[in-house]
Amino acid sequence: MGQAPTVVSNLVERFDRNREAYKNHSYNETQVRREFLDPFLEALGWDVANKGTVEESGVWLREDADGPNDHANGLRGTSTRSALPVGWS
């Protein structure tokens, strides 16, 4: 975490240089996460890419879910559609 101030400072400088581009509606949430949030959290010591041991959490995302946050918590076989563990493709 010793480099956190440098990383954060670089992120702020990049944002200031490209502020208008980031205000554009085509700049989406995924881009914000990849370009700013992930590096910021990594600088603070978070393992955002799950580089450590990957364990099955028992949280399943149903393909027939109504929205991005509809989870079937390990309830396999409750739907005729398939389910994948969150983070699997």
- Indicate if 36 and 8 belong to the same structural domain: yes
- Strands 60-62 and 71-72 come out as antiparallel
Q: What is the pLDDT of residue 38?
A: 94
Tell me, yes or no, whether 88 lies in a domain. yes
- Indicate if 87 and 66 belong to the same structural domain: yes
Q: What is the pLDDT of residue 63?
A: 53
Report how far residue 23's alpha carbon sits from residue 28's, in angstroms, rounded to the nearest whole number: 10
Tell me, yes or no, whether 64 lies in a domain. yes
Q: What is the pLDDT of residue 10?
A: 95
Across the range 12-38, mean pLDDT stands at 93
Q: State which residues form the domain around 33.
A: 4-43
Tell me, yes or no, whether 48 lies in a domain. no
Report how far residue 34's alpha carbon sits from residue 23's, in angstroms, rounded to the nearest whole number: 16
Q: Is the pLDDT of residue 36 over 60?
A: yes
**The total number of structural domains that make up the chain:** 2
Tell me, yes or no, whether 49 lies in a domain. no
Across the range 53-73, mean pLDDT stands at 53
Q: Is the pLDDT of residue 60 over 60?
A: no
